[in-house]
Amino acid sequence: KLESDFNTQKENLNSKIEAVMKKYEDRVRSLDEKEKAMKKSFNAQKAELVKTFDKVRLDFEEREKKLKEIERVQAEGGK
């Protein structure tokens, strides 16, 4: 009977350990998936930000060219 009780306790402990390990593995998997989703979102936002900055930079360069042309015309006597 003592050996039977010991084996039962051992099986119960093994079951509990397996349950904890499965829960841990599930949590790690969930966190990995969340990390991948966050990286994907970050990269998409970064790409959009770069695109916006490029657009602003090009607009600024175009305005700068126009201003230089106006200044050149004014320097030539307003022709």
- Reply yes or no on whether the pLDDT at 49 is more than 70: yes
- Reply yes or no on whether the pLDDT at 78 is more than 90: no
- Reply yes or no on whether the pLDDT at 3 is more than 70: yes
Q: Is the dihedral of CA 61, 63, 66, 71 positive or negative?
A: negative
Q: What is the pTM of this model?
A: 0.61
- Reply yes or no on whether the pLDDT at 60 is more than 80: yes
For 19, which DSSP code? H
Confidence of residue 25 (pLDDT cuts 50, 70, 90): very high
- Reply yes or no on whether the pLDDT at 75 is more than 70: yes
| Section 5-16 average pLDDT | 94
Q: Report d(CA 19, CA 45) in Å as an integer.
A: 39
| Section 69-76 average pLDDT | 92
